Amino acid sequence: MALIIPLRGFDPVIGKDCFLAENATIIGDVVIGDECSVWFNTVLRGDVNSIRIGNRVNIQDGSVLHTLYQKSTIEIGDDVSIGHNVTIHGAKIRDYALIGMGAVVMDDAEVGEGAIVAAGSVVLSRTKIGANELWGGAPAKFIKMVDPAQSAEINRKIAHNYLMYSKWYSE
């Protein structure tokens, strides 16, 4: 069973039909929507500010989500995929976005709907990534627009696959 820690008067709230890996850690002011998956060695640390996660979001192995005290929060939309070993620190991630493995997304950055952040990228504070844009590098820069239909197909497929994978653990 995942380690779920109430803190500072906040009890983490977990939606329906979620998969929480047995060594995932969820602390404090965290609200997770329905049909989400929080994978192995992942930490959602809502100790200093809020973390809000939509429906059907997958947060893959080794990822860390945290915020700045009284300054930044995390908001993640629906059907978002957060790759292995991603750090999100006080950022907003819109619906159907994909954050590639090992990426870092810093405080007050925004990742638009259907956008893709390439693996290993570093999205600096206050960066605004538009809908269906592909960004990559360290620091991350705009690479190109992604066809909205192609982005939707890829990002939704990954999000829905992770929902399927999570069901394997309850069989």
Of 150 and 135, more confident: 135
The residues, ordered by sequence, that sit 6+ positions from 146 with a Cβ below 8 Å of its Cβ are: 114, 115, 116, 132, 133, 134
Long-range contacts of range 108-114, CB-CB < 8 Å, 24 or more positions apart? 108/72, 113/77, 114/146, 114/148, 114/151, 114/152, 114/155
The residues, ordered by sequence, that sit 6+ positions from 110 with a Cβ below 8 Å of its Cβ are: 91, 92, 93, 94, 127, 128, 129
Residue 152 above 90 pLDDT?
Answer: no
Residue 117 above 90 pLDDT?
Answer: yes
Structure confidence at residue 63 (pLDDT): 98
**pTM (predicted TM-score):** 0.96
Percent of the chain's residues with pLDDT above 70: 100
Q: For the residues 133-144, what does the mean pLDDT come to?
A: 98
Query: Edge to edge, what strands does the sheet with 116-117 contain?
Result: 19-20, 37-38, 58-59, 81-82, 98-99, 116-117, 133-136, 141-145
Q: Could you tell me the pLDDT band of residue 170, with boundaries at 50, 70 and 90?
A: confident
Range of the domain at 80: 3-168
Long-range contacts of range 135-140, CB-CB < 8 Å, 24 or more positions apart? 140/103
Q: Write the CATH number for 152.
A: 2.160.10.10
Structure confidence at residue 55 (pLDDT): 97
What is the token pair recorded at 154? 């890829």
Do residues 63 and 87 lie in contact, with contact meaning Cβ atoms separated by under 8 Å? yes
Residue 26 above 80 pLDDT?
Answer: yes
* Burial letters 109-146, b for 16+ CB under 10 A, else e: bbbbbbbbbbebbbbeeebebebbbbbbeeebeeeeeb
CA separation for the pair 47, 74 (Å, rounded): 12
CA separation for the pair 9, 136 (Å, rounded): 39
Count how many domains the chain has: 1
